[in-house]
Structure 1
Amino acid sequence: MTKQRAFLKWAGGKFGLVEPINRLLPDGARLIEPFVGAGSVFLNSNYERYLLNDVNPDLIDLFNIVKRRPQRFITDAAALFSPLNNNASAYYALRSEFNACSDPYRRALLFLYLNRHGYNGLCRYNRSGQFNVPFGQYLRPYFPQAEIEVFAEKAQRATFTCLSFEKVFRRARKGDVIYCDPPYAPLSTTANFTSYASTGFSLEHQHELARRAAHTAHKRGIPVLISNHDTDLTRLLYADADLHSLQVSRFISQNGASRGKVAELLALYTSPAAASNVVALTPLQRKIAP
């Protein structure tokens, strides 16, 4: 299967990890993603149905609009990708329009424009809920028509929701598989936790996600795969899971010289029978934690 790119640029997107993720994802009738992001795992997996969730309502509104009327959206969005709009004054005017706009369709068009013209494709809001990513200064921002069309076609198999991850877990049923790509834990104890949408994802959220994953797999028989940084903290949080570590290229600072490999952890929770080796591995995992 040809790898498909998401039509949005997305910090921490999983396009480069879809192969190891797919190797670990169990078979099932439906894949549930409580933190769908740009949707790379959705686009590069093959389940009959999908439940795709995110706490960012702008993202979910965009996905639902693309699902329902892709060609109209493509035509209208393409008009924004004009050289006349690829300068700082136009960008900040359209960003201000986005922040003042309450129409979901217009916001969806502007969200795609901001994603492709803003700095590094970031999606960031201030505490007042205002989108505040600066202008990216790209020579010729790419309009992802082909990627939107692929997404829209596959989205016919998906339901999109804007809920907390706790509520999404409660919607899971036997035969489902859950993949979680939460805002990542810090690489060091001095780093701040990732701020996502208008709220943060705290240590308590990280702990609750791990607790629910273990409960869902061990008590309800629904497998859960979680991706995160490979740190002492995440190895402790996911001690009940089967852990897989790999090296991933990351832009770990704005300084290009600081680009390098970061250890990534994939934690697979399965039913007790399928995970019978996990208990024996746990002490070893803690000993070898970086």
Structure 2
Amino acid sequence: MENENFNIKPFLKWAGGKTQLLNEIIAELPQNVRQLKKYVEPFVGAGAVFFYFLENDYFEYYIINDINFKLINLYEIIRDRPGDLIFEVQRLRSEYLKLDIEGKEKLFYEIRSKFNNGCSSIESASYFIFLNKTCFNGLYRENSKGNFNVPFGKYENPSFFNEIQLMEISRLLNLKNKDGKFKVKILNGDFDELNEYIDGSTFVYFDPPYRPVTVGGFTSYSRSSFNDKSQILLRDFYKLMDVKGAKLMLSNSDPKNLDESDTFFDDLYSDFNIKRVYAKRNINSTGSKRGKITELLITNYKEVKAR
């Protein structure tokens, strides 16, 4: 691990992002992780774990997926048209920074409306980054109609992106196998549609929308909110992939942060290995309620990678 790279940072702010937990995740990887050929991530989000593996050349093939088609469009635009994306985001950034706070707020809601009401793929990608950096806490949330509805974040001078990082991410997404095909396959669908890609030579990292850790917490990542029924369906899929012989890791919130008697995940994944790790989360609107909480790492193996 001493010789491995941590250079690539996610290009999005993301509620529940895994950058801060990366060391714990790496420490819990299966012992034979370097012998596995494929990496599958059904809920890629901002991709902190995926980019770590890709930058350090862990696997021969990578399949990343997300149900959010606008997020997947952004990944594809970064791969295929990084220069155009950088130009568009810089244009939006320049327009934003020259405005006072009332003007910034007006521009934010104009861009949000365009993002929701249909636009070109390059506009959608640039609007996604703009809204992510200027909305409240970098949340991504949709209403029942599938419209992004997070309010303005009141940021005077947000950091939009690092151009060098974005070009490096584009380079990594363009890596080819010896047969000339992309090493990274980018998909847009439900997690259970990845069944065909998973076998005994696969490492799967599940990072689904978290079960809320605060009363009235955040669940509406997409128009079909990921509720307890969805968590149970995911557990069933996890079990099926375990039978296939794949190595599996899943992260989620720890319900015990809110209610010590809530054993939802302990019961759901009682057949597997559950480890509690500490994370600092800042998505609570009450400053005094922000701080270290426990999160869960659930694996179907015990032998972990040597530190």
Q: Same fold judged by TM-score > 0.5?
A: yes
**Partner of 2:16 in structure 1?**
12
1:239 CA drift (Å) = 0.8
| Two-structure CA RMSD over aligned residues (Å) | 1.9
Q: 1:224 aligns with which of 248, 262, 268?
A: 248
Q: 1:240 aligns with which of 260, 263, 271?
A: 271
Deviates more, 1:58-67 or 1:132-141: 132-141
**Partner of 2:84 in structure 1?**
72
Distance 2:11 2:17 in 1: 11
What SS does structure 2 have at the residue aligned with 1:2? coil
Distance 2:225 2:289 in 1: 25
Distance 1:78 1:102 in 2: 18
Q: Confirm or deny: 8 A CA contact 2:142 2:220 kept in the other structure.
A: no
Q: Confirm or deny: 8 A CA contact 2:43 2:65 kept in the other structure.
A: yes
Distance 1:250 1:126 in 2: 23
Distance 1:264 1:115 in 2: 24
Distance 2:217 2:133 in 1: 26
**Partner of 1:257 in structure 2?**
288
Q: 2:209 aligns with which of 161, 183, 193?
A: 183
Distance 1:3 1:147 in 2: 9
Distance 2:49 2:115 in 1: 28
* Residues 54-133 of structure 1 aligned to structure 2 (within 5 Å): 54-82=66-94, 83-84=97-98, 87-133=104-150
**Partner of 1:152 in structure 2?**
170
Distance 1:8 1:104 in 2: 18
Distance 1:237 1:116 in 2: 35
Distance 2:59 2:38 in 1: 6
Q: Confirm or deny: 8 A CA contact 1:252 1:258 kept in the other structure.
A: no
1:32 CA drift (Å) = 0.4
TM-score, length basis structure 1: 0.87
Q: Confirm or deny: 8 A CA contact 2:88 2:123 kept in the other structure.
A: no
Are 2:52 and 1:44 aligned? yes
Deviates more, 1:76-85 or 1:242-251: 76-85
What SS does structure 2 have at the residue aligned with 1:79? helix
- Which amino acid in structure 2 is aligned with residue 43 of structure 1? F
**Partner of 1:282 in structure 2?**
none
1:4 CA drift (Å) = 2.5
Percent identity (aligned): 33
Segments of 5+ residues of structure 1 without an aligned counterpart are 276-290
1:206 CA drift (Å) = 0.8
**Partner of 1:280 in structure 2?**
none
- Which amino acid in structure 1 is aligned with residue 106 of structure 2? S
**Partner of 1:278 in structure 2?**
none
Deviations 1:70-122 (A, max 9, x none): 12221222111111467111111111111222422211111111111111111
What SS does structure 2 have at the residue aligned with 1:133? coil
Distance 1:193 1:129 in 2: 15
- Which amino acid in structure 1 is aligned with residue 112 of structure 2? R
What SS does structure 1 have at the residue aligned with 2:295? strand
Are 2:33 and 1:33 aligned? no
Are 2:299 and 1:268 aligned? yes
Deviations 1:210-240 (A, max 9, x none): 12212211x2111110001233111111111
Distance 1:260 1:212 in 2: 32
What SS does structure 1 have at the residue aligned with 2:148? coil
**Partner of 1:138 in structure 2?**
155
CA 1:174–1:246 in 2, change beyond 3 Å: closer, same or farther? Answer: same
Distance 1:158 1:260 in 2: 35
Distance 1:148 1:228 in 2: 28
1:150 CA drift (Å) = 2.6
Q: 1:24 aligns with which of 28, 48, 72?
A: 28
1:175 CA drift (Å) = 1.0
Q: Confirm or deny: 8 A CA contact 1:253 1:259 kept in the other structure.
A: yes
Higher relative contact order, chain-length normalized (CA < 8 Å, sep 6+): 2
TM-score, length basis structure 2: 0.82
- Which amino acid in structure 1 is aligned with residue 273 of structure 2? D
Segments of 5+ residues of structure 2 without an aligned counterpart are 175-182, 256-262
Distance 1:195 1:143 in 2: 24
- Which amino acid in structure 2 is aligned with residue 44 of structure 1? Y
Q: Confirm or deny: 8 A CA contact 1:213 1:269 kept in the other structure.
A: no
